[in-house]
Homo-oligomer: A and B are copies of this chain.
C-alpha cells in the first residue's frame, strides 16, 4: 500500500448503463471530497457473493457518515445472458444491498465492459479506493481483509 499521493493519477470516470439504489446517476467528479470504495463485482461470482459484497455493504452502513461512499459496479465479463439487469435487481433485493450499484456499460460484443476496461481490472471482485481528490490510491483483486480495508479507509479519511 503506497501512500505517496503525489504520483497518484485521477481515477477514470464511471461509464454506467443503469443505476440501482440511487435517485440520480453518480459520477466520481460529483464525489470529490468523499472517500470512495469502488466495489466491482458480478452477481454470480462466488467470492463476491460470500465476502466482498457483504463487506461493501458493511462499509456503506458504518462509514457513510464518516465520509465514505460505496459505489458498486456490476462488471459482467462472462455469462452475460445469466446476469442481465433483471437478475441483478432480484439479487440486490434478496441480499438487501443498499449502496448505489451501477451496471458497467457493455462493450456490445459480449466482452469486458467499458469501466472495467478503462481501469484495466483483472477480474472480480476488485476493490478500488479513491481519495477525496478523485485519485486511485489502493486496488485489490480478490479478497481485501477487513483490517487492511479499515486501515486504508482510516488513512484516507484522515487526509481531510
Q: Taking each of A44, A59, A149, which has the highest tally of chain B beta carbons within 10 Å of its own beta carbon?
A: A44
Identical copies of this chain, number: 4
> Residue on B with the closest CB to A62?
B147
Contact present for B150 and A157 (CB under 8 Å) = no
Is residue A2 contacting chain B, with contact meaning CB distance below 8 A? no
**A156 — which chain B residues lie within 8 A by C-beta?**
154
**A26 — which chain B residues lie within 8 A by C-beta?**
none
Could you tell me the distance between the alpha carbons of A156 and B151 in the complex, rounded to whole angstroms? 9
**A154 — which chain B residues lie within 8 A by C-beta?**
150-158
Contact present for B150 and A94 (CB under 8 Å) = no
8 contacts between A and B (CB under 8 A): A45-B94, A63-B151, A81-B86, A147-B147, A150-B153, A151-B157, A154-B157, A158-B159
Q: Which 4 residue pairs spanning A and B have beta carbons closest together?
A: A150-B150, A154-B154, A82-B90, A146-B146
